[in-house]
Amino acid sequence: MMFCVSASFAPSAYAQVAAAGAILGTVSDPSGAVVPGADVTVTNAATQQTRTTQSNAQGFYDFESLLAAKYQITIKKVGFETFVDRDVTVDAGARVQVNAALVVGAEATQIQVQGEAVVVETASSESGGTIESKQIQDLSLNGRNFQMLAMLIPGVNNTNGAQEMGGGGLTQNNTISVNGIGTEFTNFLQDGTFNMNTGCQCGVNITSPIDTISEFRLVKDNFSAKYPLSGSANIMVETKSGSNDFHGAAYEYLRNDVFDARNFFDGSTKAPLRQNIYGFTVGGRVIKEQDLLFSRRGLAQT
C-alpha cells in the first residue's frame, strides 16, 4: 500500500536551484520603447501565492526560483491598460519569456492574453523534453517505473529492457543512457534535491510512484551550469504540491495471466503472472493549528 500526502506549503522552493524555473520579459509601450517602473505580479494558479517586482530602467523584469506550475502574470503602469496573461506554464528548470506590449488607456481596463505553448526555447540553449501529469497517468508503463518515461525523448536509451520490473530505492539501478554516454553520467533530481547513490552514481535513491509525479523533465545538450554533477543529462521529477482544494484518488493496476493470450511455445499452459500495484493519494492545503482552534470555538458557540 502506498500513501502519499501532498500540500501547497513549500518554504524551501527558493533553494531548489536546479529544478527551479523562471519567468522573465520586457515591458514596452505602443511605440516599442521600454517602460520602466511597471508593477509586475506573478500568481501561482493552484495556491494563489504571489510575488511582485518592477521593471528596471531597461524595461526588464525577472522572477527566479519558481516551482513548476501554471502562473498568471499581471503588469500595471499608470497611463496604460493592465496587461494580464492567465496561462503561463513553467516546467521544471525552464525559463519562460513573457513580453508585454502595454496599450495606452485607463489602468482599470484589462488586456488579457491567452498563453500558447512555446515551440522553440528562446530563453536558454538547452534541449530535452517534458512529460506532464496527464500524460504520465495515461501512459502504459510496465512496472510503473518513472524512469521509462525518459524513453519518449529523442537520444535516450534504456540499457536493460527488463529493468522496469526491478525494485525501487537502493535496489533500483540507473539504466538511462543519453546521447550514447554511460548511465553514471545521467543525473536524477527529486524536487530539486540530488537523488543519486553518492558512492557509485549508479542508483536512484527514491523511486517515486507514478501517481505522485506532477511533471517529468529531461534536460540535455548545452544546459546551464546550475545543474549538479552533470555529464550527459539531468532528469527532474517534480512531485504534486497540492492546492487550496482537497482531492485524492484510489487505484489498482493489475497484470494477470488470465488476461494474456497463450504463447505458441507454452504448449497447453501459460506461464503464471501476478502483479498488483495499488494505493491511494491525498492532497490539499496545509491546515494551521489556529484555524482548527477557531473552528472548534465556532462549533462550541453554535
Are 32 and 84 within one domain? yes
Residue 192: CB atoms within 10 A of its CB come to 23
Our measurement of the distance from residue 58's CA atom to the centroid of its chain's CA atoms, rounded to an integer in Å, reads 31
Quote the number of domains for the chain: 2
Q: Please state, in angstroms and rounded to a whole number, the distance separating the CA atoms of residues 66 and 69.
A: 8
Q: Is the pLDDT of residue 210 over 90?
A: no
Answer whether residue 186 is part of any domain: yes
Q: Judge whether 297 lies within some domain.
A: no
**Same-domain status, 180 and 227:** yes
For residue 55, name the pLDDT band (cuts at 50, 70, 90): very high
Identify the domain containing residue 66 by its residue range. Answer: 11-113
Are 107 and 142 members of one domain? no
In a shared domain, residues 93 and 139: no
The answer to whether position 190 is within a domain reads: yes
Q: Are residues 108 and 206 in the same domain?
A: no
What single-letter DSSP state applies at residue 14?
Answer: G
pTM: 0.60
What is the pLDDT averaged over residues 196-220?
Answer: 79
- Those residues whose C-beta lies under 8 Å from the C-beta of residue 107, and which sit 6 or more positions away, are 76, 77, 78, 79, 80, 81, 82
**Three cell numbers written together for 189:** 533530481
Single-letter residue type at 256: N
In the predicted model, what is the mean pLDDT of residues 162-169?
Answer: 51
64 and 160 share one domain = no
Sole residue written with cell 516551482: 67
Regarding whether 147 and 108 lie in a shared domain, the answer is no
- 188 in the same domain as 108: no
* SS3 state at 297: helix
The CATH number that applies at residue 72 is 2.60.40.1120
Task: Tell me whether residue 187 is in a domain.
Answer: yes
Which residues share a beta bridge with 272? none
Task: State the distance between the two ends of the chain, measured CA to CA, in whole angstroms.
Answer: 40
CB 47 within 8 A of CB 24: no
Last residue of a domain, one of 67, 82, 113: 113
Q: What is the pLDDT of residue 258?
A: 83
Q: What is the reported pLDDT for 153? A: 83
Region 161-173 average pLDDT: 54
Q: Comparing 191 with 117, which gets the higher pLDDT?
A: 191
Residues 132 and 170 in one domain: yes
126: pLDDT confidence band, cut at 50, 70 and 90? low
Q: What is the pLDDT of residue 17?
A: 59
Residue 262 within a domain: no
* 139 in the same domain as 62: no
pLDDT reported for residue 20: 77
Torsion of CA 283, 45, 19, 116, to 10 degrees: 130
Angle among Cα 155, 159, 162 to the nearest 5 degrees reads 125
Per-residue model confidence (pLDDT) at position 8: 37
Task: State the DSSP code for 78.
Answer: T
